[in-house]
Structure 1
Amino acid sequence: MKRRRILTGLTLAISLLLAGCGGGQKSAVAEDKINITTSFYPLYDFAVKVGGAHVNVINLVPAGVEPHDWTPKGRDIKNISDSQLFLYQGAGFEGWVDDFLKSLKDSKVKPVVASTGVELLKAGEETHDHDHGKDEHGKDEHSHTGEAGKDTDPHAWLSPKNAKKMSENIKNALVEADPAHKSDYEANYSAYAAKLDALDKQYKDSLSGLPKKEIAVSHQAFAYLCHDYGLTQMAIMGLSPDAEPTAQDMKKMREYIGEHGIKYIFFEELVSDKLAKTLAKDAKVETLVLNPLEGLTEEQVKQGKDYISVMEENLKNLTKALQ
């Protein structure tokens, strides 16, 4: 996260002047719908599912692009400014947002922090449900709900429970922005929430009886998933997938793999798999995909994949690795 590039107010001002001159975002606002701009893929999918026929959703980060270091171009900023709602994760995920929001003038857009009300974890920690969320001193290991500090882990969407809360926040924002279609938004949300509840149950039923509880991952993105289902992650890199691991980090990972009898190292599709495959070869184990759902590849978009289908694929690979 520390390496994330932050747009300065000056850069944003220049970008606003250049609005419409690029950005690679093909979508545009629609005249006859509620326009929603989202900062990255999961929020796009949740907004599409909850908004249904009444919304036009523009996702800022293009397919195949990893969002941690992405920053908006002129057309992206214009799309946000021309929308009714701007959905972003918060919790420190989008490094450019604070400066952008300060630069907003004379825009009708309402910013919505999707992670509001989610119990945020500290970076580098996952407390399991059976630990009751307490450390050895009996104190709550979570940051306070809705308070995101520099040490907050923003990857909250990888918990289906949190995805449900985030979808509810989107529903509430849509009801406020477009009360005429309140009943439709509530019905869409209820249907989608039921699917997320089913996904949560599927994870619990599938993972609870497996012999292993430790996973080796390339990117420290899975604390919320580990928290919900009693797992522990060991990551090659930190919260940002482009962080550079040291020789000591690699040594610790090899030791972890050996100590816990791990047979697979998980990598993700939107960043280089070189380190994961090098370590896997060195440790004589194999690799599998565990998708942090920060974005989809162009091929996944063509195949009609979405949050739930990718999370189901993640579950299959977790089940295989934890045998």
Structure 2
Amino acid sequence: MKFRIHHLAILSLSALLIAAGCGNNNASNSSTTTNASGAAEATALPESTKLNIKVSFYPIYEFTKNVAGDLADVEALIPAGIEPHDWEPTAQDMAEISDADMLIYNGAGMEGWVDQVLESISGTPLITVEASKGLDIMEGTEEEEADHHHEEGEHAHEEGEHAHEEGEHAHEEGEHAHEEGEHAHEEHSHDHGGLDPHVWLNPTLAIQEVRNIEAALAAAAPEHAEDFKTNADAYVAKLEQLDQEFKDGLKDTKRKDFITQHAAFGYLAKQYGLTQVPIAGLSPEQEPSAANMSKIVEFAKEHKVKTIFFETLVSSSVADTIAKEIGAKAAVLNPIEGLTEEDRSQNLDYLGIMRQNLEALKSALNE
């Protein structure tokens, strides 16, 4: 059932919801209104009415569902098994978002479609919540890689122009390489804007996202605030235990650096004193340059790396290539951007996959 907000008892929580609206403080995307004194106001939902919540992708679904419990209908927009970086909403998705009471997304550039969606449904009483709001967001590593691709394309284009004197075919190859360089540069412009959005892979930051979601739900349905707090407290306790397991498991490893296909583990590495060595940048679809591949191979040989990590939902070909060249093995380190069919068949959730990641890291760092 659709509802509209008319009274909000706690101004700070109202400010959180307004600020969470796509990171641009656009009041037209907020469901709150103000009275004559300037205080935000809202009314509580009837107890028989559940919140209709849309979330962007799996980790946000997991966090929201654990806070909401049975007091909300929570649905992820991005289906299981779909890589979320390049997902775009359909007309049906847009209609479902517009009809929802609340949209909760990670933010920090993860969901590149959010700004456009919220602009298109401006004026609706949709509450928008950026779960990563207020977190210390790190700069990513993708821009340098994308720019390097672009320079390679320019260089190949010049070679093609030179080869034109010897044959039109060589010229066309140069043009094609130039276009690939341009495409790599454009891909960067559509990705995370230089920010690393993968905060959920650090359990302590996941806790902050859970608390942001709890505050938003309590503001939307204050009569259930205690229930949301109880649910959030129980889930935070599990995340705190997970954090302790990572601390204990990784504090005395033989090595502290690990090679990943996708630069998704910066927050996890920082939290536990590790060093992520990414083959490519933030986008899992990004192809590393030949120069960067060479550097990774050299690093792996010098440091006697025996495991190259790849991830679910995308091809492992790059990791496989490097592993084969240095005589190492390829193994999964899961960024938990979506559940696979295998994950679902094993009833795995965020906590279970994070523990699998911990075991994978312990194995690789103690080889």
1:211 maps to which of 244, 254, 261:
254
Percent of paired sites with the same residue: 46
Q: Deviations over 1:127-152 (max 9, x none)?
A: xxxxxxxxxxxxxxxxxxxxxx8321
CA distance in 1 between partners of 2:95 and 2:346 (Å): 29
Q: Deviations over 1:262-303 (max 9, x none)?
A: 110011110001111111111110011100011111221232
Structure 1 match to 2:288 = 245
Q: Deviations over 1:179-238 (max 9, x none)?
A: 111111000000001110110010001000111100000000000000100111111111
Name the aligned partner's letter for residue 338 of structure 2. G
Structure 2 match to 1:166 = 209
1:96 maps to which of 85, 97, 113:
113
Structure 1 match to 2:14 = none
Name the aligned partner's letter for residue 122 of structure 2. K
Q: Does 1:110 align with 2:127?
A: yes
CA distance in 1 between partners of 2:293 and 2:205 (Å): 31
Structure 2 match to 1:57 = 74
How do 1:198-277 residues align onto structure 2 when only pairs under 5 Å count?
198-277=241-320
1:46 maps to which of 63, 66, 84:
63
1:68 maps to which of 62, 82, 85:
85
Structure 1 match to 2:54 = 37
The alignment covers a number of residue pairs equal to 270
CA distance in 1 between partners of 2:318 and 2:86 (Å): 19
Give yes or no for contact 1:223–1:233 (8 Å, CA) kept in 2.
yes
Q: Deviations over 1:20-62 (max 9, x none)?
A: xxxxxxxxxxx94211111111000001111001111110111
Structure 1 match to 2:334 = 291
CA distance in 2 between partners of 1:272 and 1:79 (Å): 31
Q: How many Å apart are 1:310 and its aligned residue? A: 0.5
CA distance in 1 between partners of 2:218 and 2:208 (Å): 15
Q: How many Å apart are 1:84 and its aligned residue? A: 1.3
CA distance in 2 between partners of 1:182 and 1:32 (Å): 15
Structure 2 match to 1:321 = 364
Structure 2 unaligned blocks of 5 or more:
1-47, 143-191
CA distance in 2 between partners of 1:100 and 1:162 (Å): 26
CA distance in 2 between partners of 1:103 and 1:165 (Å): 29
Q: Secondary structure at the match of 2:84?
A: coil
Determine which structure has the larger helix proportion and give its number.
Answer: 2
Q: Which stretches of structure 1, 4 residues or longer, exceed 4 Å deviation after superposition?
A: none
Name the aligned partner's letter for residue 171 of structure 1. E
Name the aligned partner's letter for residue 315 of structure 1. L
CA distance in 2 between partners of 1:253 and 1:54 (Å): 49
Q: Structure 2-normalised TM-score?
A: 0.72
Q: Deviations over 1:158-192 (max 9, x none)?
A: 10011000000110010011111111100000000
Structure 2 match to 1:78 = 95
Q: Deviations over 1:84-124 (max 9, x none)?
A: 11011111111111111111134221110010121111113
Distance change in 2, residues 1:227/1:50 (3 Å):
same
Name the aligned partner's letter for residue 223 of structure 1. G
Structure 2 match to 1:136 = none
Give yes or no for contact 1:264–1:287 (8 Å, CA) kept in 2.
yes
2:239 maps to which of 196, 209, 212:
196
Q: Deviations over 1:51-82 (max 9, x none)?
A: 00111111011111100001011121122111
How do 1:297-312 residues align onto structure 2 when only pairs under 5 Å count?
297-312=340-355
CA distance in 2 between partners of 1:242 and 1:167 (Å): 29
Name the aligned partner's letter for residue 210 of structure 1. T
Name the aligned partner's letter for residue 62 of structure 1. P
Name the aligned partner's letter for residue 253 of structure 1. I
Structure 1 unaligned blocks of 5 or more:
1-30, 126-148
Q: Secondary structure at the match of 2:86?
A: coil
Structure 1 match to 2:38 = none
2:136 maps to which of 114, 119, 131:
119
CA distance in 2 between partners of 1:273 and 1:32 (Å): 45
Q: Give RMSD over aligned pairs.
A: 1.4
Q: Secondary structure at the match of 1:320?
A: helix
